[in-house]
Structure 1
């Protein structure tokens, strides 16, 4: 395939997508895999450069794997993370100059050269923001840890790292726009002085197995589920404090799936030792955990747009989440929101579940009916709309793609 400057005659975009990790791996690798998969499924020409591929994507226009030889995936630490990211960035920039795409989509820490190359060829270079502004994230997490007396490991993802922050600031400066998957992310960038016009909203999604959400038995005790990393940032301590004073404690179950970091485990120990609380550890089947629960609690203090909040709704599991979780829902319709750290509000929501389970049955049905808007297909349309907005703002014409 070749691309050339022309009019938007067929609606098809040429995209260079740069992801400096294993695409298809858990976490952000899964997010990136779904984005690229939906772009390809929608008929766009996608040139992918990734560190390696954990899950293949058929139909790519080109597929460059920077840290993979045959089936062997080379870990970043084998060459040094910073060196690996820098090498990836150079490869991405070379690809942009060769392909001359309509739009360039990059991810953190390996994007600066690639974004500058996008500007050289007249394509909008976009930088994904999977979390809030990094300085904001560092500050919020540090303050929460200080309140708890918890020290994060030096290699924790949200432990302050001045060099990484400086690199990200250069990337944001080089980008035509930042891709924000939630209002919480967008607000954090604006609060740090970014031009709102350079923040493009899109969203993430979830994949359904096609089975309808299982109805909850009215005679079963209500089940509250926490599912995720057990670290101060996710706010499990707030949920357990709310549980301690709620009427639900005497009639329900609070199931925790995840492994705590050691310094946080000591803080949680007395909170976990109360009626109804079950510490289960990490699960390889989050879908089953969601299907068995009535509500998902995620009182996070900092987040991008937690995929588990999408997955919960598909399972008919009602999200009780903080406004920082980046959930795609209407408060009181598909779930209930509270401000980060508002234990009283979360306790009142637990009491509501204890006293009025019919309200949660209504929200469960609404959440499950919300499924088409929560899909990765819908997220793909949102992402393409952001691409087109960036192209229009740059005053560029979309390439016509010739077979």
Structure 2
């Protein structure tokens, strides 16, 4: 067993969201098995026995301010670059403390070649966590005239490529991200695929399943990167006039305007930024047509609730096409509408595919996730 781990996580530990949740689950599992370590992070919503936490305090709020500047003031502001630089500045004085703890290995959850080099300088092997497709993927889409709304940054792309090369091993959550790293020139031999975990809920009686109309659901930031503009276009048909589309999440202004222009299927529910779990029970089919993810947490959560899913390969590779739902190309409005209509015309498949999706989700426990990460640590140490 790995006795001690140093985590560098530019996030709030145990905060809902991919990185915060995963880091928290991993540290908790390691602690429960007698492990110790050090966690350098923005902040933490919990603490585990045997772990020391170094948080950014009030400075941990700055990344949210940087993101707000991008969203509401300067759309071209490269907030992620400065977010990384802020985290690097915070960690720069802590490597002595890390060395004094004598961890076996470092797990870096941010694409920072500077942090990776500093850790290797004190003799630590480094596992890098890459949760989303790299900027080389966005650059390739742009070169084809696709997804112009996706933000690209040359300097972030350079940072990523440098970090990928500096790390000893890289953990990715899907075959999609693995393929994109390979396309960026990273040897597949240093990449390890570990799907995210999910908590499997107890299922009550759905309030939707026995109605005549169908409720399609989406959870996430309601914006173009998530493919919601394509979903709205697919939805705008007389064929969905009696059905419901539920969009849970923070609504971006461009999508709000697009919803206001709907001609036919205007019955769109916008509950806002809430805990989406209560809405899964209201939905029949989950739709997540994102352009760029790693492995969308919302997709696994919907599957765990027994919902069939219509999604894209770029949202992750957990859904088996034709078994747990359907996989379409991002931006393909016609294919998305076709699959949504398929469920309208094949009502019985909602239950059978939903059952298959839940069984599939049960394969991805948090215990499995933590165990597989520990095996990567052991492999990295030789």
Task: Give the conservation status (yes or no) of the 8 Å contact 1:372–1:378.
Answer: no
Deviates more, 1:35-44 or 1:350-359: 35-44
Q: For residues 135 and 264 of structure 1, do their structure 2 counterparts lie closer, same or farther at Cα, with a shift above 3 Å needed?
A: farther
Q: For residues 230 and 219 of structure 1, do their structure 2 counterparts lie closer, same or farther at Cα, with a shift above 3 Å needed?
A: closer
1:214 aligns with 2:205: yes
Alignment of 1:261-340 (within 5 A): 261-270=252-261, 272-275=262-265, 277-340=267-330
- 1:181 offset after TM fit, Å? 0.8
1:128 aligns with 2:114: no
- 1:380 offset after TM fit, Å? 1.5
Report what 1:14 is aligned to: 4
1:106 aligns with 2:96: no
Q: Taking structure 2 as the reference length, what is the TM-score of the superposition?
A: 0.84
Cα RMSD of the aligned pairs, angstroms, is: 2.8
Task: Give the conservation status (yes or no) of the 8 Å contact 2:182–2:188.
Answer: yes
Q: For residues 343 and 372 of structure 1, do their structure 2 counterparts lie closer, same or farther at Cα, with a shift above 3 Å needed?
A: same
Report what 1:204 is aligned to: 196
Q: For residues 262 and 246 of structure 1, do their structure 2 counterparts lie closer, same or farther at Cα, with a shift above 3 Å needed?
A: same
Structure 1 Cα separation of the partners of residues 361 and 147 of structure 2: 36
1:24 aligns with 2:14: yes
1:33 to 13, 18, 24: 24
Alignment of 1:4-403 (within 5 A): 11-27=1-17, 28-53=19-44, 55-65=45-55, 67-68=56-57, 74-76=60-62, 81=83, 84-91=86-93, 93-109=95-111, 111-137=112-138, 140=141, 143-146=145-148, 159-208=151-200, 210-212=201-203, 214-215=205-206, 216-245=208-237, 247=239, 249-270=240-261, 272-275=262-265, 277-392=267-382
Report what 2:75 is aligned to: none
- 1:16 offset after TM fit, Å? 0.9
Does the residue aligned with 2:362 lie in a helix, a strand or coil?
Answer: helix
Q: For residues 324 and 92 of structure 1, do their structure 2 counterparts lie closer, same or farther at Cα, with a shift above 3 Å needed?
A: farther
Cα deviations by residue, 1:249-297 (Å, 9 ceiling, x for unpaired): 1442112223333345444543x44325314142312001112111110
Cα deviations by residue, 1:87-142 (Å, 9 ceiling, x for unpaired): 23324533443334332111225x43432244345543011111101232355479
**What 5-or-longer segments of structure 2 have no aligned partner?**
67-81
Structure 2 Cα separation of the partners of residues 159 and 145 of structure 1: 9
Report what 2:79 is aligned to: none
Does the residue aligned with 1:233 lie in a helix, a strand or coil?
Answer: coil
Q: For residues 365 and 221 of structure 1, do their structure 2 counterparts lie closer, same or farther at Cα, with a shift above 3 Å needed?
A: same
Structure 1 Cα separation of the partners of residues 182 and 268 of structure 2: 40
- 1:219 offset after TM fit, Å? 3.0
Report what 1:8 is aligned to: none
> How many aligned positions are there?
363
- 1:227 offset after TM fit, Å? 1.4
Structure 2 Cα separation of the partners of residues 371 and 186 of structure 1: 21
Report what 2:73 is aligned to: none
Does the residue aligned with 1:63 lie in a helix, a strand or coil?
Answer: strand
Deviates more, 1:321-330 or 1:74-83: 74-83
Structure 2 Cα separation of the partners of residues 99 and 159 of structure 1: 39
Does the residue aligned with 2:225 lie in a helix, a strand or coil?
Answer: helix
Q: For residues 73 and 213 of structure 1, do their structure 2 counterparts lie closer, same or farther at Cα, with a shift above 3 Å needed?
A: farther
Deviates more, 1:260-269 or 1:333-342: 260-269
